[in-house]
Structure formats: structure tokens, C-alpha cells
């Protein structure tokens, strides 16, 4: 702590410096001033913790000093010294929250008692200040602490046992009851339903705040846990068990309405039965499973124990012959529209559940794979791109996702079959691939993969179109490049062999002589002399 002595009497100041053991009171620095003007200037380098000041000084009194200090929000200790015991002075000093009022000549014991009183008071103020900061920090972070707790409960990071959950409540100083009933509300928004203009993290933030304002009349409440799973944005909200179901349904419907109005997305709400804190993780899993099985009842409010009203008395099988005929006729629009119509009819009859959608997808893929195999097109290569893979993963989430996937599969299938039927198009693409990659190790299979065909079928088409095998065409391409290098490049024969894709000089020389009638050395010598 720092102390400032203010007195116009220099001997008094020196006496004070000498008679007090300042370190005993935790005072490590003592500053001195002989008038209040100098004292005010010392405040510029930082306010002292304690001021000992004479009241009667010619260039401004001690009362002027304390008045100025308090007006500048100085909250430190203040001890007054005076030669005259005056009630007027004492009362004014008290009105400005002075700690002590001592009459000269000073008694050492009285001075030390006054110092001890001031220092103790300062320590209490500092402690209260720290407590106040801690309190503000706790209030500020309370929602984060509670959100972390509920997140651990929902994910079973805290084992779902009453005694362990209660222990965590106490550790985190949360005023919650482990035996209170809770209702879990789960809000689901598939990623495919979100407009592309949204940044995902920003959407998460906006959705959570909208839910928080509707349910708790404030943003970022500690009982809202946002997370993402399998291309779905979830918000899990822990609601007090005393909440009535009618209010909860009304609030959930309001969430769905405002999500559609402001966030331009379709939200679906599910709420559990009332459970203790130890049952919340299981309730979360059951609500997620309910959401996964929901194909046609989205944009509504559902209760955990109310099954979806599917009409599954009659099954459904996709007309494979009809779709095969449409693919053969290359009717992309009709394929998609017909498939969409089938799904819409099933939806209107409440027949389209997750099992049926999976069955329709398998039937559709069987038609596609059969046609691709007939045209020697490798399906696993054709659909290996990242976009198609992502669409395939979410295809069974909803009718909307299914149709996005089916449209892409239809386009790729029809377009690939068209290319195969126009065999010269396939051969030209194979040639271009060879020209671009002849320097590398290439096999017939590598070239076939580049055009989505089997190696045997490509070999047949390639031979019919060019009169050469794929290997012969590749060697022609390599030798033509080698001939140019032999004439124009100073590289060795070995270097040229490697640069044009041959493994060894001997094989390079054999192929070169077969196609040109000369060895590489003779060819280079002859044509360089001509140049």
C-alpha cells in the first residue's frame, strides 16, 4: 500500500516518517507533500491508499483536500491532524468519511491505533471489491456454467445416477434439485432446409436466440443446448416440470411459426414426458430417434409417446419396368416427376414412413445399377464425387432430400449412358486422358476408370474406333513425344525414356525400334545431322 503525508510543517513530516514502522502496517511506500497543490499533482502518478493530512495549512486546508479527493471518486483512507480540537473541523471531517481526527502533539500509540483502523478498513474494502468482482463474474458466467452442466447430463458425460448428478450440481454451485421433474423440448432443423445464404454457426446462434426469447424472454439462456448430428441442427431445452403442456405446445408452435417467418426454415418440435434429471439423456436419445423416423410430419409439434399416424396396412413397390423404360428413353424430366408424384401420393395417404422410403430408394437404385451394368459403366466411380455422396447420406431424411438425390442420380445415369452410346465421344475422352497422362505409369484399367467404363468394354470400343488397342495407342503417343525430345533435347536416352513413361531403357529401345525402324541413338544422330 502507498501512504501520502501532507503537512506544511517539515519537522512534523520528518517526525512521522521516523516514528512509525510503516512496514508493520503493510505500507511499502510513503510520499510527502507540503501543500495540497503538490499533493494533487502526486495523484497524477496514481492515487495513494491512505492520506495523513494536516487540517490547517496556509495554501489550502486539509478539508479542501478531502473535499477535492472525494469529488474525484477517491475512496481511500483519510487521517486528519490538527493543533486545535474543534467540533466544527471534526464534524466536517466525518461528513467526508475521514477515518480519524488526531490532535497535535501526536501520541505514537494513538497514531498507530488510527493507522491500524484505517488499514483494516482498507483491507475490508479491497476484499469486498474482490468479492463484488467475483459476484459479477459469477452472474455473467452463470448461464455458461448451467449450460455446460445440462450438456454433460444430456450426453451422459455425467453418469445418469442421482447421487453423481447431485454432486455435480453442488460442485458447480447450481441451485437445482436432482429430484425435480423436467421436460425436454427438442427442436430439429435439417441442414437441407436452411437457405444457402446462412453461415452454419450464425444460423445456430440465431436459432438458439429465437428459441430463448420465446421460452425465457431473454437471449442465450443456460438451459438451451445447441448441437449438430447427422446433418440436423438440434436445440435441446430443459423445461421445468411445473410447466403446463398447453403452454409448452403453444410455445413450440410459436417457435415453428417464427422459424418459418424469420429464419426461412422448417423446424419440428418434440417434447418428452416429465422425468428426473437422471432420465434426460435417455429422453434425448428417444426424441432423436423419433426425429429420424419422421419423414412426412415435419413442421409440427410431437409428444414422445404419441406415434406418428402412418397407414402401413398396404405395402408399396416401385414400378421397376416403368422406370427402366423411362431411363432407356432418356426421359430425365419424366423420371423425376414420376418419382415425385409417387412420393406425394404416399405422403397424402400417410403411408410414407422411413422403412418405405428406404425400400423405394433400394428399388430405384436397382433399376439404375442394372442399366449402368448393361452399358459397362462402373456405378461406384460414377457416383463417387463429394456432392453425390453428401446427397446420398441425407436422402432418407425427408422427401425433399430424397428428390434432390434422385435428380442428381438420374442426370448422371442418363448422361453417362448417352456418352457410351456415342462411342466416339468416349474414345475421344480416353485419348485425351492418355495424352494428358502418358508420362505416368498407365494401365488399360486406369484409362477405363477415367471414362466410367469397364476395361474390357473400353478395349472393344477403342479398337473398333481407332484400329488400335489402348496399349498400342499409348505407346504411339509416348514414342512421338520421345522422337521430338531426341531431336530437340540434350537429355540422355535414359532420361528421355523415363520422361515419356517407360520403365527401362531396353523396353523403350525395343518399342522405339519397332515403331520407327531405328534405334533411339540412330534416330537422334540421323535427324540432328539433317537439322
Residue 97 is predicted with a pLDDT of 77
This prediction's pTM: 0.57
Grid cell 406425394 is found at: 344
Own/partner long-range contacts of 12-15 (Cβ < 8 Å, ≥24 apart): 12/54, 12/81, 12/104, 15/106
Which residue, among 296, 293, 304, has the nearest Cα to 269 in the 3D structure? 304
N- to C-terminal Cα separation, the chain = 96
Mean pLDDT, rounded, of the chain: 88
pLDDT tens digits, 411-457: 999 999 888 877 657 898 899 899 989 999 999 999 999 888 889 98
Q: For 159-165, what is the mean pLDDT?
A: 90
Own/partner long-range contacts of 131-138 (Cβ < 8 Å, ≥24 apart): 138/173
Whether residue 96 is predicted with pLDDT greater than 80 in this model: the reply is: no
Which residue, among 439, 440, 519, has the nearest Cα to 486 in the 3D structure? 519
Q: For 200-226, what is the mean pLDDT?
A: 89
Residue 415 is predicted with a pLDDT of 93
Query: Burial code of 39-61, b = ≥16 C-beta within 10 A, e = fewer?
Result: bbebeeeebbbbbbbbbbbeebb
- The number of beta carbons lying within 10 Å of the beta carbon of residue 330 is 14
Residue 242 is predicted with a pLDDT of 85
Three-state secondary structure call for residue 58:
coil
The pLDDT confidence band at residue 280, using thresholds 50, 70 and 90, is: very high
Whether residue 464 is predicted with pLDDT greater than 70 in this model: the reply is: yes
The pLDDT confidence band at residue 406, using thresholds 50, 70 and 90, is: very high
**Spatial distance between the Cα atoms of 228 and 503, rounded to a whole number of angstroms:** 51
Cα 445 to Cα 258, 426, 434, 449, 470: the distances in Å are 55, 14, 12, 6, 10
Lowest pLDDT segment from 140-149, 487-496, 512-521: 140-149
**Spatial distance between the Cα atoms of 400 and 69, rounded to a whole number of angstroms:** 72
Strands of the sheet containing 224-229, edge to edge, are: 224-229, 232-240, 182-190, 268-271, 301-303
The pLDDT confidence band at residue 530, using thresholds 50, 70 and 90, is: low
Which residue, among 230, 199, 264, has the nearest Cα to 395 in the 3D structure? 230
Strands of the sheet containing 2-6, edge to edge, are: 29-33, 2-6, 50-54, 77-82, 100-103
Query: Is CATH 3.10.310.10 the classification given to domain 424-530?
Result: no
Q: For 389-398, what is the mean pLDDT?
A: 89
Cα 42 to Cα 32, 35, 132, 434: the distances in Å are 9, 11, 29, 85
Whether residue 195 is predicted with pLDDT greater than 70 in this model: the reply is: yes
CB 326 within 8 A of CB 335: yes
Whether residue 469 is predicted with pLDDT greater than 80 in this model: the reply is: yes
CB 118 within 8 A of CB 100: yes
- The number of beta carbons lying within 10 Å of the beta carbon of residue 6 is 24
CATH of domain 2-106: 3.40.50.2300
- The number of beta carbons lying within 10 Å of the beta carbon of residue 122 is 19
Grid cell 437422471 is found at: 278
Which CATH architecture fits 162-303? 2-Layer Sandwich (3.30)
Q: What percent of the chain has pLDDT over 90?
A: 47
**Residue predicted with more confidence, 195 or 390:** 390
Whether residue 301 is predicted with pLDDT greater than 60 in this model: the reply is: yes
How many CA atoms within 13 Å lie on the side-chain side of 265? 25
Amino acid at each position: 500500500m502507498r501512504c501520502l503525508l501532507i503537512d506544511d510543517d517539515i519537522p512534523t513530516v520528518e517526525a512521522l516518517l521516523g516514528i512509525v514502522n510503516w512496514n508493520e502496517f503493510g505500507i511499502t511506500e510513503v510520499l510527502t507533500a507540503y501543500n495540497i497543490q503538490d499533493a494533487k499533482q502526486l495523484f497524477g502518478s496514481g492515487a495513494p491508499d491512505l492520506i495523513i493530512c494536516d487540517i490547517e495549512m496556509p495554501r489550502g486546508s486539509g478539508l479542501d483536500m478531502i473535499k477535492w479527493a472525494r469529488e474525484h471518486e477517491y475512496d481511500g483512507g483519510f487521517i486528519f491532524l490538527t493543533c486545535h480540537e474543534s467540533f466544527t473541523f471534526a464534524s466536517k471531517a466525518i461528513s467526508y468519511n475521514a477515518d480519524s481526527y488526531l490532535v497535535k502533539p501526536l501520541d505514537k500509540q494513538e497514531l498507530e491505533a488510527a493507522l491500524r483502523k484505517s488499514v483494516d478498513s482498507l483491507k475490508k474494502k479491497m476484499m469486498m471489491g474482490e468479492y463484488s468482482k467475483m459476484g459479477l463474474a459469477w452472474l455473467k458466467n452463470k448461464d455458461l456454467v448451467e449450460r455446460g452442466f445440462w450438456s454433460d447430463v444430456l450426453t451422459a458425460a455425467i453418469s445418469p445416477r442421482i447421487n453423481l448428478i447431485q454432486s455435480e450440481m453442488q460442485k458447480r454451485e447450481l441451485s437445482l434439485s436432482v429430484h425435480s421433474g423436467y421436460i425436454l423440448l427438442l427442436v430439429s432443423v435439417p441442414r437441407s432446409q436452411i437457405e444457402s445464404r446462412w453461415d452454419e454457426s450464425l444460423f445456430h446462434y440465431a436459432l438458439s436466440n429465437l428459441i430463448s426469447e420465446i421460452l425465457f424472454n431473454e437471449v442465450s439462456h443456460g438451459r438451451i443446448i445447441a448441437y449438430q448430428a447427422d446433418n440436423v441442427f438440434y436445440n435441446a431445452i430443459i423445461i421445468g416440470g411445473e410447466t403446463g403442456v398447453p403452454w409448452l405446445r403453444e410455445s413450440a408452435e410459436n417457435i415453428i411459426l417464427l422459424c418459418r417467418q424469420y429464419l426461412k426454415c422448417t423446424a419440428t418440435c418434440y417434447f418428452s414426458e416429465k422425468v428426473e434429471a437422471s432420465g434426460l439423456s435417455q429422453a434425448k436419445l428417444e426424441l432423436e430417434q423419433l426425429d429420424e423416423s419422421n419423414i412426412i410430419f415435419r413442421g409440427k409439434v410431437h409428444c414422445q409417446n404419441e406415434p406418428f399416424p402412418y397407414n402401413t396396412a398396404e405395402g408399396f413397390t416401385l414400378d421397376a419396368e416403368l422406370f427402366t423404360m423411362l431411363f432407356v428413353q432418356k426421359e430425365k424430366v419424366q423420371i423425376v416427376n414420376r418419382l415425385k408424384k409417387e412420393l406425394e401420393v404416399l405422403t397424402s395417404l400417410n403411408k410414407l414412413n422411413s422403412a418405405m422410403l428406404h425400400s423405394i430408394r433400394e428399388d430405384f437404385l436397382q433399376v439404375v445399377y442394372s442399366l449402368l451394368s448393361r452399358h459397362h459403366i462402373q456405378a461406384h466411380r460414377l457416383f463417387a464425387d463429394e456432392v453425390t455422396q453428401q446427397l446420398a447420406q441425407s436422402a432418407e431424411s425427408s422427401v425433399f432430400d430424397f428428390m434432390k438425390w434422385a435428380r442428381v442420380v438420374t442426370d448422371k445415369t442418363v448422361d453417362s449412358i448417352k456418352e457410351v452410346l456415342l462411342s466416339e465421344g468416349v474414345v475421344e475422352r480416353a485419348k485425351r486422358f492418355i495424352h494428358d497422362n502418358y508420362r505416368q505409369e498407365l494401365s488399360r484399367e486406369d484409362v477405363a476408370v477415367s471414362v466410367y467404363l469397364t476395361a474390357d468394354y473400353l478395349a472393344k470400343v477403342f479398337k473398333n474406333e481407332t484400329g488400335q488397342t489402348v496399349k498400342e495407342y499409348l505407346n504411339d503417343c509416348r514414342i512421338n513425344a520421345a522422337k521430338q525430345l531426341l531431336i530437340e533435347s540434350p537429355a540422355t536416352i535414359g532420361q528421355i525414356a523415363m520422361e515419356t513413361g517407360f520403365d527401362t531403357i531396353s523396353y523403350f529401345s525395343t518399342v522405339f525400334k519397332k515403331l520407327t525402324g531405328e534405334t533411339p541413338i540412330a534416330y537422334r544422330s540421323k535427324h540432328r545431322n539433317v537439322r
